[in-house]
A and B are shown apart, each in its own frame.
Chain A
Amino acid sequence: MSYIELSNVSKSYDKQRSVLNGIDVSIEKGEFFVLVGPSGSGKSTLLRLIAGLEEITGGELHMNGKVINHLPPKDRHLSMVFQNYALYPHLTVEQNILFGLNAKKVDKKEQKQRLHKTAEMMGLTELLKRKPRQLSGGQRQRVALARSVVSEAPLCLMDEPLSNLDAKLRAHMRMEIRQLQKKLGLTMVYVTHDQVEAMTMGDRIMVLNDGKVQQVGKPIELYNKPANLFVASFIGSPKMNMGRAVIKGQQLVIEESLFIPVKAADVIDIPKNKRLIAGIRAEHLFKGTSEEKTHVLDVINVEQLGNETMVTFEVGGEFWTAKWLGQQIVHTGDRVPVQLSVEHMSFFDADTGKLIKAASSLKQKEGVAI
């Protein structure tokens, strides 16, 4: 039995348009569960449903096997970090952290103990007498975290807590949150729209789009076997290169401009003469040499990142990006040899967007690595 279970949960604010539709998911105890999706996809709404801040309009929410649809937030034994921190601006850091304990009439001595333990853990000991407006963004963030940690609630909900931080602080806080969750054995539901954050932090990820679950699974699973076009383009950076494709005889034709020879065995489970979308990850668009190459493509943009080089090609009407290690000497306008093979390609149904066949090379590689 899972810790939290949503069965067929839906939510509509105005009784006409639903914001969430038939959400089915279960979250295990001690799991770091990441909710990811584009802006407006209903992530915050789902979190607020779990917290009890919004009423569920359809379906059931279980916690520890009991239905808790009707339970007010305070009886759900959880803590929440809001997207905008929601610190009390008129209270000091100390009062902010102790607000909940005071409300629950926790013994004063214990309050003090917990306060000092938490403040130390979060590095807030020096800042306890300050007001929120005298803190930097990262410090506020830590106060918000401290407030949720000090409650010692077994379930912690976080709504894009790192969205306002700079890249360096964000990377640092990512690690801190992850460590904290492991150390305290918290169950975490973590909302973000940043797929890198989702990949690096989550035990499991749920991708949400337009109020519907797209896929739930381990980060690597989502990356290697995206259930549909949306997940394929959302997970991974740069996004998966895609193009309209069709299999004609012994050839795979992409965007009517790229012809790749295929063996019958490679495409055995792909229907012939069906409209397809073929996708390939940037790191699988290998660099070729003048001897070893399958295709020659036009370069339209080059981004030097120092340790790797992003090269954008034009394939029919689509732009494809390749990620090559090291600093490559390539210029815009060049025609560059590349190596493309069908075994790195994923195929999707062009009409439904559903995955037909994931890249077969990954399975082999996984096998080799083990």
Chain B
Amino acid sequence: MNEAAVSLGSDAAKLIEKAKKQRRTKNLIKGLLFLLPSLVFFSIFLFYPMIRTVYLSFFLTNASGAPTVFVGLDNFAQIFSSPLFLKSLKTTFLFVLYTVPGTIVISLFLAVIANEKLRGIGMFRTIFSSTMGISVAAASVFWMFLFHPTMGWLNQFLSIFGVEAIGWLTDPKWALLSVSISTIWMNIGFTFLILLGGLQSIDSYLYESADIDGAGYFYKLRRITIPMLSPTLFFVVTVTLINAFQTFGQVDMLTRGGPQNETSVIVYSIYRDAFVNYQYGTASAQAVILFVIILGLTLLQFKLGERKVHYQ
């Protein structure tokens, strides 16, 4: 009788095992079906170009971009010995350094003040987030006018105080800074909106409890707002950082990489190599390097961020 029970048990176990397997297969197929559309689109517009870029970076190409001679790592060796590329690398890092902290700090400040419950605050929220709806091209034209050496408002404003006119976009000392300022302005809308959303999702009970405990404004900011906002901040920093590395539009519109290549960030350099000089091989090599840099930084950020960020 005991044996019968055992054999029955193993039979049942087998049956259950089989059913489980069937369900797993079914789930896998279902999951794949759901993923299919995005997989198709990603393959066409993302994975294929990425692989193609890596492939091209090992070749010399003709003017139409078809690979001709396999050169191994020569393209990489060449760009790393090119002062222009090294300079664009440095410019990119400087640009990131100027824009990312600036964007975050200013947006955070605006979000914190726009989060107060005051009359007419909705208008300010709209104004602060409005740059999100402005295209890079339109914003660039707007800033071009502001930066204009003689007619621009900035210089006119400075002249009131007797300050000499500044060649915002033409002076090598100022050009990168000017582009950075306009970039910060363009980024603020999006960053502000995300941060404001993050602030509003913080439970008001926490502040009330702190009020009763007698906490001051900055104590609350430091001990409640910033820690509770950390996931949002983390997201915003990641996105802004990646965006900064990929900046192209405003550089192309405002300075075309000049003066003296001072504003030639890496994406602009890629664009010039590929579509002006028809050097698809070295352009691809630069793109691969940019990809590696962004990937590396993002991974690093996740590694560091994990410890600091508080998720609900």
Contacts and interface: CB of A to CB of B under 8 A. Distances in A.
Interface of A: 51-53, 72-74, 78-80, 82, 84, 86, 88-91, 99-100, 102-104, 133, 147, 151
B310 A89 contact: yes
B210 interface: yes
B212 A79 contact: yes
Contacts of B153: none
Given A100-B214, A104-B214, 4 more contacts: A53-B208, A102-B219, A103-B214, A151-B213
B213 A100 contact: yes
A99 B208 contact: no
Contact of B216 (A99, A103, A133): A103
Nearest to B226: A90
22 contacts: A52-B211, A52-B212, A53-B208, A53-B211, A74-B213, A74-B215, A79-B213, A82-B209, A84-B205, A88-B223, A88-B224, A89-B312, A90-B228, A91-B223, A91-B227, A100-B214, A102-B219, A102-B223, A103-B214, A103-B216, A104-B214, A133-B312
Nearest to B208: A53
Given A84-B205, A86-B205, A90-B310, A51 B212 contact: yes
B310 A104 contact: no
Contacts of B230: 90
Contacts of A103: 210, 213-216, 219
Given A88-B224, A90-B227, A90-B310, A99 B205 contact: no
Interface in B174-221: 203, 205-206, 208-216, 219
A80 B212 contact: yes
A74 B310 CA distance: 28
Kindly list the 5 A-B residue pairs having the minimum CB-CB distance in the complex, ordered from nearest: A100-B213, A74-B214, A103-B215, A86-B205, A90-B310
B209 A80 contact: yes
A147 B211 CA distance: 13
Contacts of B223: 88, 91, 99, 102
B209 A86 contact: yes
Interface residues of B, number: 20
Judged by DSSP, the binding face of B is: helix
Nearest to A72: B211
Chain B CB count within 10 A is highest, among A89, A133, A147, for A89
Nearest to A82: B205
A47 to B, nearest CB: 11
B307 to A, nearest CB: 13
A73 B205 CA distance: 13
A73 B213 CA distance: 8
B211 A74 contact: yes
B10 to A, nearest CB: 41
A72 B212 CA distance: 8
A84 B206 CA distance: 10
A251 B93 CA distance: 98
A34 B211 CA distance: 24
B205 A100 contact: no
Nearest to A77: B214
A221 to B, nearest CB: 32
Given A88-B224, A90-B227, A73 B206 contact: no
B206 A86 contact: yes
Nearest to B223: A99
A78 B212 contact: yes
B209 to A, nearest CB: 4
A143 to B, nearest CB: 12
Interface string B17-61: 000000000000000000000000000000000000000000000
B305 to A, nearest CB: 14
B228 A73 contact: no
Contacts of B312: 89, 133
B215 to A, nearest CB: 4
A118 B44 CA distance: 63
Nearest to B215: A103
Given A84-B205, A89-B312, A90-B310, A99 B227 contact: no
A170 B312 CA distance: 27
Contacts of B211: 52-53, 72-74
B280 to A, nearest CB: 50
B208 A86 contact: yes
Nearest to A74: B214
B214 A99 contact: no
Contacts of B212: 51-53, 73-74, 78-80, 100
Contacts of A89: 228, 310, 312
Nearest to B230: A90
A73 B214 CA distance: 7
A80 B211 CA distance: 10
Contacts of A53: 208, 211-212
Contacts of A90: 227-228, 230, 310
Contacts of B208: 51, 53, 73, 82, 86
Interface string B297-312: 0000000000000101
A99 B203 contact: no
A52 B208 CA distance: 10
A12 to B, nearest CB: 17
A72 to B, nearest CB: 7
A147 B208 CA distance: 14
A99 B310 contact: no
B204 to A, nearest CB: 9
B69 to A, nearest CB: 58
